[in-house]
Structure 1
Amino acid sequence: MPIVHVNGQTLHYTDTGGNKPVLIFSHGLLMDHSMFEAQVSEFSSDYRCICWDERGHGLTGDATAPFSYYDSANDAVALLEYLGVEQAVFLGMSQGGFLSLRAALKHPDMVRAFVLLDSQAGVEDPELMPGYQALIENWASNGLSAETAATLCHIIGGPGFDGAPWIKKWKKINPSNLLQIFHTLGARDQIIDQLNQLNMPALIVYGDCDVAVSLDRVQATYDALPNARLEIIKGAGHAANMTHATEVNAAIRGFLASLSELQSSVTDTSIAS
């Protein structure tokens, strides 16, 4: 099991290896690296795909102290440095997008480009937070009920989502860890007004049936980015990369191809001059 000790953390990760352009995938809240199986399968022949379990998730284990998504961004960068990676495309789903944006702000030289998968740069919707808080506190106090599990599957997966494998994992979450990772989600700052600093190419992929992130928040993030494109996936929910992998992968592949074309154009210009 690949484990690395960096940034004061013990992180689990997977790495397809090879001397190829690097993609680093960061998962959403309550998920883990395995949510990107369809993307790794699609892109590993052409790209080095690195996936990791963030603090308090998967095989990385419980979060033992309060942390922010800036800390998580630093974790991702430290992992890349350990692996000898100088620059990567950051792809993050929801929470993974929060840390990817912060990595781009704090470590711009490490971020070749980034892909936000059903993510945004604002805070959580204040109208939804009380319901989320009650759900998490009830889960932490009384265990994961069938009703709560069904609600989570609806929020995360939307239509066509098989939540059974995830429910099995969720039942094993330590209550104190659950409260900590949810606190990090709810306490994050809004960074919309900083996005004009990010000139690297960006792609936002959004499922139009997403009940966790509203389109207006995604649109605001898109509007604030200087060099972004937006792809809407019809019929997809919050975890569009899982339930609509074919459509999401096509959007990502087109974006990655545009990066290669841009690099070729820059190289040709340099040779000509």
Structure 2
Amino acid sequence: MLVQRMWLALSLVLLATVAGCGSSDDDGPPNADPGAATAKYASVNGMQMYYEERGQGAPLVVLNGGLCTIASCVGPLLPTWAKTRRVIAVEQQGHGHTNDIDRPLTYDHMAEDVVVLLERLGIAKADFFGYSDGGIVALRLGIRHPNLIRRMVTLSAYHDSRGLEPGLIEQMEQLTPEAVPPSMKEDYAKVAPDPSKWPVLVEKVKRLGIDFQGFPDAEVRTIPVPVLIVMGDHDIMTTQYGEELSRLLPNAQLVVLPGADHFSIATHAETILSKSTAFLDAP
């Protein structure tokens, strides 16, 4: 089944990521390394939202994928960007260090949480990189708060479930905490305020994917900022959908990574960094 293959791939990706990341950011204070993280919290809509800052320069906001911590899903990309940018990586509601609250997990809620965080930080405009669910949040921000965004990169993200591989939503109905790779649960348990909430997070992420009705094409067409769409040729979306989304957006480019699936951050990190950085650095 497609979902089973996805989780198996993710398990291997997480093991590779942990092996490449070295010691945890929680092991001690940041040092002179510009890629070292400073861990911080902000009071956002009734929760203590965790984020990490690295480097200096123009702000780049990095949004995590579903069930991810910063380290487990986007960690390999951040030190390189931090050499020239102020990188702000976020863990959304119930993810990683950020506590859960009594509300559903929705893209609208997560987008507005990011808006509040940036207000707290005094950031009026930034570049965005969103992976998977984080990419969908970035698209929502592009619709509702385009003035916050200079340029946007989405990796393995979609605006409507019609772009997903056939049968994926039906298979998501079968997702249980036991079906998620143990390494993912272990990463969560290391940093979560209450590790016993893992089944709650899995259920909320499951409902997020199943209940998402999509953003209307008419709204997506209003996103005025330059967008780089990155996806694998064996992603959870079809390449045909990627082409359609790139035509739907007024100012978009599409990069399809050959031999890549939904977890290309681990397998194609250098290519993602190269393509994303060139796009973000363009005048």
Q: What amino acid maps onto 1:166 in structure 2?
A: M
Q: Which residue of 1 aligns with 2:168?
A: 128
The partner residue of 1:236 within 252, 260, 272 is: 260
Contact 1:56 1:181 in 2 (8 A): no
> Which structure 2 residue ranges, 5 or more long, are not aligned?
1-38, 190-194
RMSD over aligned Cα, in angstroms? 1.9
**Residue 47 of structure 1 pairs with residue 65 of structure 2:** no
Single out whichever of 171-180 and 197-206 deviates more from structure 2.
Answer: 171-180
Q: What's the CA shift for 1:167?
A: 4.8
Contact 2:46 2:101 in 1 (8 A): no
Q: What's the CA shift for 1:8?
A: 2.6
Contact 1:63 1:180 in 2 (8 A): no
Contact 1:222 1:230 in 2 (8 A): yes
Contact 2:47 2:99 in 1 (8 A): no
Count of aligned residue pairs for this structure pair: 235
The partner residue of 1:105 within 130, 134, 143 is: 143
Cα deviation code 1:135-174 (max 9, x no counterpart): 23xx3xxxx2xxx346xxxxxxxxxxxxx74352367552
Q: What amino acid maps onto 2:278 in structure 1?
A: G
Q: Which residue of 2 aligns with 1:256?
A: 280
Contact 1:241 1:249 in 2 (8 A): no
Contact 2:92 2:98 in 1 (8 A): yes
Q: Secondary structure of the equivalent of 1:25?
A: strand
Q: 1:80 to 1:242 in 2, by over 3 A?
A: farther
Q: Counterparts of 2:132 and 2:92 in 1: how far apart (Å)? A: 13
Q: What amino acid maps onto 2:187 in structure 1?
A: K
Q: What amino acid maps onto 2:167 in structure 1?
A: E
Q: Which residue of 2 aligns with 1:114?
A: 152
Q: What amino acid maps onto 1:168 in structure 2?
A: E
Q: What amino acid maps onto 1:227 in structure 2?
A: N
**Residue 201 of structure 1 pairs with residue 226 of structure 2:** yes
Q: 1:216 to 1:170 in 2, by over 3 A?
A: farther
Q: What's the CA shift for 1:97?
A: 0.8
Q: Secondary structure of the equivalent of 1:60?
A: coil
Identical counterparts, % of pairs? 26
**Residue 213 of structure 1 pairs with residue 231 of structure 2:** no
Q: What's the CA shift for 1:187?
A: 1.6
The partner residue of 1:29 within 55, 60, 66 is: 66
Q: 1:203 to 1:235 in 2, by over 3 A?
A: same
Q: What's the CA shift for 1:209?
A: 2.2
**Residue 60 of structure 1 pairs with residue 84 of structure 2:** no
Q: Counterparts of 1:98 and 1:2 in 2: how far apart (Å)? A: 24
Q: What's the CA shift for 1:239?
A: 2.0
Q: Which residue of 1 aligns with 2:198?
A: 174
The partner residue of 2:250 within 226, 232, 235 is: 226
Q: What's the CA shift for 1:42?
A: 1.1
Q: TM-score, normalised by structure 1?
A: 0.80
Cα deviation code 1:66-95 (max 9, x no counterpart): 142011001111111111111011111110
Q: Secondary structure of the equivalent of 2:66?
A: coil
> Which structure 1 residue ranges, 5 or more long, are not aligned?
151-163, 262-273
Q: Counterparts of 2:98 and 2:80 in 1: how far apart (Å)? A: 25
**Residue 15 of structure 1 pairs with residue 61 of structure 2:** no
Q: Which residue of 1 aligns with 2:211?
A: 187
Contact 1:195 1:224 in 2 (8 A): yes
Q: TM-score, normalised by structure 2?
A: 0.77
Q: Secondary structure of the equivalent of 2:175?
A: helix
Q: Counterparts of 2:175 and 2:255 in 1: how far apart (Å)? A: 31
Q: Counterparts of 1:85 and 1:24 in 2: how far apart (Å)? A: 10
Q: Which residue of 2 aligns with 1:155?
A: none
Q: Secondary structure of the equivalent of 2:160?
A: coil
